[in-house]
Chain A
């Protein structure tokens, strides 16, 4: 059974480009398109897709607003913006991954399938931001004892992703199974989404993002 996908982006040209690219990939079916928050929520509630490709900058409140109003499907954020606040904000809003719009068709299809399976999708850039957020830039333990920190293994996985390693290569490098790599990534994602808002706010303000 193929993965049913809704494409949400305010640029019509980009939507049709993605649709054409995904049409060539087996196992993926674009069931609807939407151009703003309201139409996206409508499309998601009527078609019940597996994965929503979501633009971060969207008329009507941004991609985060869509995830808030139409929870259910898995979201994969797609954006031209590499700004750390967008990346982190979208992940914290519930997205299972983040890729930039320059991604190639086969890579996008692979990312969609991975998200549909419940895994996280980390681009090198996202991994870099995550390491930044959890690294010595801020002393996490000093603020909140209960806050989950990244384990050394999770940090290693993030580092290899940032260095451009594919999942398979990460597994080989660390002598673990691909399944374990995926588990580590899901854990990182969860920690990112659960870590206290205060913490990330300070991280963002340290970097003059707020």
Chain B
């Protein structure tokens, strides 16, 4: 975690006047742990030279390996978020932009790890000769390197997906996948094997058993001492993360609003000569903003009220009319899709034949039944004059409602507009 920066009396962070350059591990272009790439960026030299330096010093009694491991441990991974504009970042989070470029597969790093292990062989051979510690040490180094790599991988994935709550399993495995599991399993296995080899080196099983007990006791002791501290750290982290998610959600909302307004303004400029189109665009944008700002985010797949509003909105967009929807009460959508479809048909009819103007949709969800009224101010008509082949009225509305145990009636007269009433008794099954 980053230490809190000292602040001046006026509350401004000192770093505002004297920025601190920090070295990070570059986990985006890493081969093993990103130490070389990060250092190269920090020192302003070519990454090749840094790598050559590490390999060379590794050959000199293993200094390079220790140095690399130390830097890997202590340098923080470069933060990869909060680097773009709010709109771009929001779009990235919402999956509306291409994400990060896929890194090399796991083959490259594996080869690098192998080379590093080979370097380790040379070091130990030089310093100790092919002695008792050689194989356990080599295997442990490779195992630990694998585990650290997985830790990096999981950390980056935590940055990239903002929505999730802190989850211990995900903290270890990230988003999962065979590579993550394989890395953790292989790393742990190697460390265990190394320990086994080390404790068996005396050749005595008793000795090995005692050593194992001592080791386990040590692990448990450390866990007890550090447990509360680690737990608190985790809790803090979770709170901080939740706050960040909220901030990002707010940013997403703002970005969505601004983006959609920009689109509409562009379309309005293009359609300036067409008042009907401008009205439709403005109306549609207004509805959008209104929903974002003031409406509960109800899902049209589960709520009747939301489904009716959505159906009305679609007719508004398609036919350039104004549809006012008022819903009293609400019900789970469930089996009411037929009612929504009949409403949509009735509104579409009104939009087509009523010659513009406002269409009022009023739905009342009662205990025993649901009523929907669709009213327009059009010329109206004589009901008996409607030809038999008018599908909209007869099939989509009347027949559909009757199939689902409901009914529909139409009140109209020349000069009085038209009102369609849909009636749907509620099923008593719940």
A binds B: yes
**B294 touching A124, Cβ below 8 Å:** no
B375 surroundings in chain A (CB, below 8 A): 163-165
A82 surroundings in chain B (CB, below 8 A): 290, 294-295
Which stretch of B14-22, B356-364, B389-397 is in the interface?
B356-364
A48 to B: closest C-beta gap in Å? 34
A132 surroundings in chain B (CB, below 8 A): 328-329
Q: Is B195's CB within 8 Å of the partner chain A?
A: no
A130 to B: closest C-beta gap in Å? 9
**B324 touching A164, Cβ below 8 Å:** yes
Q: A124-B360, A128-B362, A131-B364 are in contact. Are A162 and B294 (CB under 8 A)?
A: no
B290 surroundings in chain A (CB, below 8 A): 80-82
Q: How far is the CA of A111 from the CA of B92 in the complex (A)?
A: 47
**B362 touching A162, Cβ below 8 Å:** yes
Digitize A119-131: 1 where CB-to-B-CB distance is under 8 Å, 0 elsewhere.
0000011011001
CB-nearest residue of chain B to A124: B326
B295 surroundings in chain A (CB, below 8 A): 82-83
Q: A102-B286, A159-B364, A163-B360 are in contact. Are A128 and B296 (CB under 8 A)?
A: no
Q: A136-B367, A164-B375 are in contact. Are A128 and B293 (CB under 8 A)?
A: no
Q: How far is the CA of A195 from the CA of B285 in the complex (A)?
A: 36
Q: Is B419's CB within 8 Å of the partner chain A?
A: yes
**B329 touching A164, Cβ below 8 Å:** no
A86, A131, A163: most-surrounded residue (chain B CB, <10 A): A163
A134 to B: closest C-beta gap in Å? 10
Q: How far is the CA of A136 from the CA of B328 in the complex (A)?
A: 10
A25 surroundings in chain B (CB, below 8 A): none
Question: Interface majority SS on A: helix, strand, loop or mixed?
Answer: loop
**B419 touching A131, Cβ below 8 Å:** no
Chain A residues touching B, range: 20 to 34
Q: How far is the CA of A124 from the CA of B358 in the complex (A)?
A: 12
A82, A86, A137, A162: most-surrounded residue (chain B CB, <10 A): A162
**B362 touching A208, Cβ below 8 Å:** no
A151 surroundings in chain B (CB, below 8 A): none
Q: How far is the CA of A78 from the CA of B362 in the complex (A)?
A: 22
A137 surroundings in chain B (CB, below 8 A): 329
Q: Is A135's CB within 8 Å of the partner chain B?
A: yes
CB-nearest residue of chain A to B372: A163
A to B contact number (C-beta, < 8 Å) = 55
Q: How far is the CA of A207 from the CA of B327 in the complex (A)?
A: 13
Q: A136-B367, A163-B362 are in contact. Are A83 and B328 (CB under 8 A)?
A: no
B340 to A: closest C-beta gap in Å? 18
Q: Is B373's CB within 8 Å of the partner chain A?
A: yes
Digitize A124-159: 1 where CB-to-B-CB distance is under 8 Å, 0 elsewhere.
110110011001110000000000000000000001
Q: How far is the CA of A208 from the CA of B294 in the complex (A)?
A: 12
CB-nearest residue of chain B to A158: B328
**A124 touching B324, Cβ below 8 Å:** yes
A159 surroundings in chain B (CB, below 8 A): 362, 364
Q: How far is the CA of A25 from the CA of B327 in the complex (A)?
A: 33
A149 to B: closest C-beta gap in Å? 16
A135 surroundings in chain B (CB, below 8 A): 328-329
**B328 touching A125, Cβ below 8 Å:** no
Digitize B179-218: 1 where CB-to-A-CB distance is under 8 Å, 0 elsewhere.
0000000000000000000000000000000000000000
**A163 touching B329, Cβ below 8 Å:** no
Q: How far is the CA of A81 from the CA of B292 in the complex (A)?
A: 11
Q: How far is the CA of A5 from the CA of B360 in the complex (A)?
A: 29
**A163 touching B419, Cβ below 8 Å:** yes
**B362 touching A164, Cβ below 8 Å:** yes
**B296 touching A162, Cβ below 8 Å:** no
Digitize B304-328: 1 where CB-to-A-CB distance is under 8 Å, 0 elsewhere.
0000000000000000000010111
A205 to B: closest C-beta gap in Å? 13
Q: How far is the CA of A102 from the CA of B322 in the complex (A)?
A: 11
Digitize A75-90: 1 where CB-to-B-CB distance is under 8 Å, 0 elsewhere.
0000011110010000
Q: How far is the CA of A82 from the CA of B293 in the complex (A)?
A: 10
B211 to A: closest C-beta gap in Å? 61
Q: How far is the CA of A184 from the CA of B242 in the complex (A)?
A: 50
Q: A131-B364, A163-B362, A163-B375 are in contact. Are A81 and B294 (CB under 8 A)?
A: yes
> Which of B293, B324, B327, B362 is A81 in contact with, Cβ under 8 Å?
B293
CB-nearest residue of chain B to A166: B377
**A83 touching B364, Cβ below 8 Å:** no
Q: A128-B362, A208-B296 are in contact. Are A163 and B373 (CB under 8 A)?
A: yes
**In chain B between 286 and 303, which residues have their CB closer than 8 angstroms to a CB of chain A?**
286, 290, 293-296
Digitize A36-50: 1 where CB-to-B-CB distance is under 8 Å, 0 elsewhere.
000000000000000
Q: How far is the CA of A82 from the CA of B294 in the complex (A)?
A: 7
**B364 touching A127, Cβ below 8 Å:** no
B419 surroundings in chain A (CB, below 8 A): 163
CB-nearest residue of chain A to B291: A82
Interface residues of B (CB under 8 A from A): 286, 290, 293-296, 324, 326-329, 358-360, 362, 364, 366-367, 373, 375, 419
Contacts A136-B329, A163-B375 aside, 13 further interface pairs with beta carbons under 8 A come to: A83-B295, A102-B286, A128-B326, A128-B327, A128-B362, A132-B328, A132-B329, A136-B366, A162-B326, A163-B419, A164-B358, A164-B359, A164-B375
12 contacts between A and B (CB under 8 A): A81-B294, A82-B295, A102-B286, A128-B327, A135-B328, A136-B329, A137-B329, A162-B360, A163-B419, A164-B360, A164-B375, A208-B296
